Amino acid sequence: MTGPNPLIESLSLPALLADRLAACDRKVQERSASWNSLAPNGRRAALPGEILLRHTPLLETDHAWVAFLCEYTESLLEHFPENLFCDLDGLASATRQGSAPLFHALLELNLLYGCKGPIRFRYVHDFLYGWDWVKWLRRTRGKAAETPPFSMSFLQHLLSRAGEIGRQLQDRDTGWQELAPGEFRNPFPYSREQTDEALLLREASRRGLVPVRTWGKPLFEAAGLDRNWHQEREALARELGLA
């Protein structure tokens, strides 16, 4: 049995919520392969308890937000068990003033796109680090200041898109293949096996090719959002011999 966690105790949470947060941190530590950071020279992404300490004044902790961060972390571990990188600082900060519908939408996305749903993507990287978001901005000509990476309007787009993909999968004649048990979907023209994905994303981070830097501030550079980030990542994959 583990002893008290001084970091979590310093947050002055109710006992049950503190226990849940401590248990959540332990689950992450047990699954350390899923919790790497894309920050320069980063080894491990911040634990939920560490994130709360960074983003929350000690005496003003929002208990609903703390509970959501625990639930979201547990959901990621369940629905994306082979995920590699998980910097949640930016998402946590963006949801600090969030509402129940926002929290629900984020959890629903894991359910729809993860390993237990029909789509079955292997990683949450494209969502968390902004590739999905910048692609949507380019298509809609949206403004980052009005629709930031974890805004409700963007989440609603992803929920709607999940429904479209589900209907296309049922049709079986739209290019979406039926997967074998344990197989993950890869719609990209390059390998996303775990060793290749780790190499690609670490090199992308080193070269400044990650659109949303969820490990720090600023979250993104508005001046660079008109770049074709997907094209740049694909070119890097070819350069690394992954295509």
| Position 159 in a domain | yes
Phi, psi (deg, nearest 5) at residue 85:
-120, 135
* This model's pTM is above 0.95: no
Residue with the larger pLDDT of the pair 6 and 201: 201
**Alpha helix ranges (H) inside the chain:** 6-9, 15-30, 48-55, 63-79, 89-94, 100-113, 125-128, 131-140, 152-171, 194-206, 229-239
Residue with the larger pLDDT of the pair 135 and 177: 135
Q: DSSP label at 115?
A: T
Local structure of 36: helix, strand or coil: strand
Nearest CA-CA partner of 162 in 121, 133, 221:
121
| Position 68 in a domain | yes
| Position 87 in a domain | yes
Overall number of domains in the chain: 1
Query: Averaged over 71-99, what is the pLDDT?
Result: 94
Confidence of residue 1 (pLDDT cuts 50, 70, 90): very low
Residue with the larger pLDDT of the pair 159 and 41: 159
Domain range for 80: 6-239
| Position 40 in a domain | yes
| Position 1 in a domain | no
Tens digit of each residue's pLDDT (9 = 90 or more) over 37-78:
999 887 899 999 999 887 666 546 788 999 999 999 999 999
